[in-house]
Structures are given as C-alpha cells and as structure tokens.
C-alpha cells in the first residue's frame, strides 16, 4: 500500500480565475499565406553572399517613428503643397514638396495664377539674384522669349551674351555710340506699313522721344511745362520728316534737337505763340542746357550722334554693358539708364502677337532717382507690360531702395511704393531681420515666410521665397548646371587667375 499524496499545486490560470479577471485568450496564429508561384529561387533575407549582391551579415533593423508632421518633415520632406503647372523654364525644385519648380510668367497670367507678368527681385549681394534672373532668361529662350538687359551696370551679363553668340554693347568703349532717338526696327519696317500705321507709329515714337527729353530736363533741375512739351514735339516731328505727314521718317540726334532749339526757325516760335525769338530762347533755356550736358558733359561722345554698333533685333539676347561708366559717376549712370530705357523700348515696336520679350532692369532705383518723369516711365512700363508683351524684371537689394527716389511724401516716393503692387511675382532672397521686417510690412508676409527669408534662404545662394500674388510662398532653390555656374559666376573677379 502506497503512501497518500499531498495536495497538488494550483496553476497560474486557476489563481487568476479565483482572484482576478479572466486572462485574455491567446490570439490565433494567422493562417499562412498561400504559396506563390515563383519563376526563380527565393532571395535570402540577408541577400546573396556574393560580391556586389547586397549581402549583409545581419538583417537591417526596422525603426518605427511616431511624431507630428511638423517634426517628421526632416525625415520625410516630400509633403504635399500647392503646385504650379509644369510649363516654362525649369528653374529648380520646391523645398517643401520636392517637386520641380517651373516658371513662365505669361502662362501664369493666362492661367489666372497672377494678374501680370512683372517680377521684382530683392536680395542681399551674393545671394544669387543675378544667377536666378539669368537662368530664367536662358531657359525661357526655347519658348520663344527674347531678352534685353536694359543696363548691365556691373557687366555681369556679358559672359552669357557672348556664350549665346551675341556681343554685348559696351557703352563707353572707344567708338561705341548709341542714338536714343534712333528709329530702331521701325526704320527697317517703315516701307511695309500702311498710311494709318505710319501715322500711329510716328505719333507713338515722337511721344516717347518727348518723354525722354523731358525726363532729362527735369533731372537737371528744370521742370518742364506743357509748352515745353509742345515745342519739343513740334521740333522732333519737323526733324524726323513727319511734320506734314508720315510718308517718310528718319532718326533724329540730340545735337540736331539742341541746334533747332538754340537757333529756332521763326515759324517754330510763332507756332508756340511766343512774342519773339528772345522770349523763346529764355523759356527753352533749361531744355537746351540739359541737352548740352549730353553733348559736352560727362556723357559726351556716348549719345550725341548716330548709332555706330550693329544691332541684331532678332538675337535671343541683347545687353547694354555700362561697366565702363562707373568712373563717370552715379549721375552719368542714371542718365545712361534713362536714355537706354527709351532706346530699348524700340525693341518692342511692331511686335507680333505672342512675341514675348523679357526686359531686365538691374538696380532700377538708379534710374528712378533722376526725377518724377523717370519714375513715371518705369511705372508706365509695368502697367503696360501685357499690352507691350513684355516681362519686366526689376532687381534691387531691399524695398527702401525704392524710397530713395525722392523726398519723403513726394510724388516720386508714392509712385515707387506702388511699384510693388504692379509686380505680381516677388522673389525674395536671403535678408537680414531688419530688411525682412520691411518686406513683411510691404508684402503682408506670414510668420513662416518671414522665417524663410531670414533663415532658410540664407543657408546657401540660390534659395528664395517666390510669392505669386496672394498664394503662400514657394521655397525654391535654383539649380544651375556646370556651364551655367561658370557663366553666372559673379565672384569671378575675386578668384585668382590660373597661370
């Protein structure tokens, strides 16, 4: 007879049933996936042990991260953002979405994205303003957009012009002279116009010449009156050969205008209702003195005769290099920019429908410092850009540059402030906090856009915040090819020359 057994121990399950809740049932193992038919052998999880086949001694660890989208963006930057149509110049990429950024201001207008094709660019020196503008100009050429650099003050665009097979017009070089009262392409096409078209083009051309001469007069400190404008118009029409009709028209030079006003024909001062020649000369002295400075002043030999350079109006790019005028002073450069601005406007005459021209105005504030008429000229070019089929690009360092064109509260300053509203596309490169505050006030930037200008955009050249109308800004990085980096290098003069 065996010894009696003691009480058996209780299991954990029985203890839980007696003193606690029912333990959860063990989940059923998932059913195995059906066998897949494979045409080849299955690759081991750690790869094939062979050079170049991705073999690893251990399996790659998988890390699971949980965070808010504002924090996870650094690991997964391809977040969704507002996109633009993929048409036009391929400039770079959108840092928010990783998508390619395309730019075609005219297509933006046609698509209702912006209200006008004008662009204004702000940025500190060295942030990549010129490179971005050049990249836009070069990459819009396959779409039929020609470019005119209306005054290259520092000579930064000349290497690109030569690389594209053209030769920049170096204003101030020996033997180079430009007539701001030249007919331009209108002279070559005059014979093919109808009588009505000739009359319209003659009136438009003379009107542009009058505005130019009045702007130069006011820049010299002699305000013009309607009587002065009427006398200038009558003089120019007579010299151009369209006084009695528009059958023929010729170019006029500034010395011819100066001589006609200094030695007036009796019919001229009688037509202007002056009692005598002496009264006419006294009234027109301010204009004749201003024209005289172009003949005998610091700009002598530059704009006082017929154009001596061959102009190819069909070239993909034209540039007016003003680097040689730096030694003649800021006033001379401002005069030259005003004269060349009028001369460049002839490039848009007799344009065909759909023929777009991109006009770059670098350091535009220099020209606008000449006075009210100079500011009004830039204002008119921006307002009429769609009608003239132009993309106006204004470049400056900061918004306060536009406020130096006149005294506080003056008409010039008020018009200059409104130029921002006439540019639907604003490209904002890296800036200091103070300048960024100015931009935020002028353009109603949000806090994140303000931070992008003072932080992200200062990280490397080429980064800029693109504001299209009222849309949130696009953080765009302009990407340059190797040839473009060599041609667009604005620091080339700082680098030692290789021997």
Predicted TM-score of the model (pTM): 0.76
Judged by average pLDDT, the poorest of 10-14, 47-51, 91-95, 100-104 is 10-14
For residue 498, which phi and psi values (nearest 5 degrees)? -80, 135
Per-residue confidence band for 41, with pLDDT thresholds at 50, 70 and 90: low
The pLDDT score that the predictor gives to residue 325 is 82
Query: What value does the mean pLDDT take over residues 437-448?
Result: 89
Map residue 458 onto helix, strand or coil. Answer: helix
Query: What is the rounded average pLDDT for all residues in the chain?
Result: 83
Answer yes or no: are the C-beta atoms of 127 and 429 closer than 8 Å. yes
pLDDT at 457: 93
Confidence at residue 117, expressed as pLDDT on a 0 to 100 scale: 96
Q: DSSP code of 404? A: G
What are the Cα distances from residue 89, in Å, to 86, 137, 154, 478?
9, 9, 25, 11
Distances (CA, A) of 339 to 154, 181, 285: 18, 9, 21
Q: Could you give the angle at which helices 254-262 and 226-240 cross, rounded to 10 degrees?
A: 120
* pLDDT band at residue 25 under the 50/70/90 scheme: low
pLDDT tens-place string over residues 169-190: 888 888 888 888 888 777 777 7
pLDDT at 436: 92
Residue 357's H or E segment, with its range, is strand 357-362
Q: Is it the case that residue 496 has pLDDT exceeding 80?
A: no
**What does the pLDDT look like over 352-363, one tens digit per residue?**
667 899 999 888
SS3 assignment, position 178: coil
128 pLDDT exceeds 70? yes
Q: Residues, the chain, total? A: 499
* 192-217 mean pLDDT: 86
CATH topology of domain 89-176+309-493: Rossmann fold (3.40.50)
Residue 53: is its pLDDT beyond 80? no
Q: Does residue 377 contact residue 337 with C-beta atoms inside 8 Å? A: no
**Per-domain residue ranges of the chain:** 89-176+309-493, 187-285
The pLDDT of residue 191 is above 60: yes
- The reported pLDDT for the residue numbered 372 is 80
Q: Band of the pLDDT at 9, cuts 50, 70, 90? A: low
Provide, rounded to the nearest whole percent, the portion of the chain with pLDDT above 70. Answer: 83
């Amino acid at each position: 007879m065996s010894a009696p057994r003691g009480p058996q121990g209780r299991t954990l399950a029985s203890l839980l049933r007696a003193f606690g809740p029912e333990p959860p049932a063990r989940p059923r193992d998932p059913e195995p996936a059906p066998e897949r038919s494979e045409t080849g052998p299955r690759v081991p999880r750690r790869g094939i042990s062979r050079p170049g086949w991705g073999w690893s001694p251990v399996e790659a660890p998988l890390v699971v991260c949980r965070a808010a989208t504002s924090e996870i963006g650094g690991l997964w930057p391809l977040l969704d953002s507002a996109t633009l149509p993929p048409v036009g110049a391929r400039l770079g990429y959108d840092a928010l979405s990783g998508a390619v950024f395309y730019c075609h201001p005219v297509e933006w207008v046609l698509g209702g994205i912006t209200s006008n094709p004008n662009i204004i660019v702000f940025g500190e020196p060295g942030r990549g303003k010129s490179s971005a503008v050049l990249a836009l100009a070069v990459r819009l050429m396959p779409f039929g957009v020609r470019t005119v650099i209306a005054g290259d003050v520092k000579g930064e665009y000349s290497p690109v012009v030569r690389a594209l097979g053209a030769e920049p017009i170096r204003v101030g070089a020996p033997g180079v002279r430009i007539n701001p009262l030249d007919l331009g392409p209108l002279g070559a096409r005059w014979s093919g116009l109808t009588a009505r078209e000739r009359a319209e083009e003659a009136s438009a051309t003379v009107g542009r010449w009058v505005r130019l001469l009045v702007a130069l007069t006011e820049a010299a400190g002699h305000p013009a009156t309607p009587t002065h404008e009427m006398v200038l118009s009558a003089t120019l029409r007579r010299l151009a050969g369209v006084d009695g009709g528009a059958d023929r028209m010729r170019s006029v030079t500034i010395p011819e205008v100066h001589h006609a006003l200094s030695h007036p024909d009796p019919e001229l001062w009688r037509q202007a209702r002056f009692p005598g020649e002496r009264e006419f000369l006294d009234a027109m002295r301010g204009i004749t003195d201003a024209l005289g400075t172009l003949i005998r002043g610091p700009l002598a030999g530059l704009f006082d005769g017929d154009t001596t350079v061959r102009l190819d109006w069909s070239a993909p790019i034209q540039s007016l290099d003003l680097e040689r005028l730096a030694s003649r002073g800021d006033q001379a450069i401002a005069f030259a920019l005003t004269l060349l601005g009028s001369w460049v406007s002839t490039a848009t005459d007799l344009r065909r429908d759909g023929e777009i021209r991109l006009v770059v105005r670098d350091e535009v504030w220099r020209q606008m410092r000449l006075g009210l008429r100079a500011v009004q000229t830039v204002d008119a070019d921006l307002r009429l850009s769609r009608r003239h089929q132009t993309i106006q690009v204004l470049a400056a360092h900061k918004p306060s540059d536009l406020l130096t064109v006149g005294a506080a509260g003056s008409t010039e300053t008020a018009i200059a402030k409104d130029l921002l509203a006439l540019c639907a596309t604003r490209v904002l490169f890296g800036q200091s906090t103070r300048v960024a505050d100015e931009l935020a006030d002028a353009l109603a930037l949000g806090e994140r856009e303000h931070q992008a200008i003072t932080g992200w955009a200062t990280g490397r050249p080429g980064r800029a915040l693109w504001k299209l109308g009222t849309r949130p800004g696009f953080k765009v990085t302009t990407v340059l090819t190797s040839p473009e980096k060599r041609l667009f290098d604005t620091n080339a003069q700082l680098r030692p020359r290789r021997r």
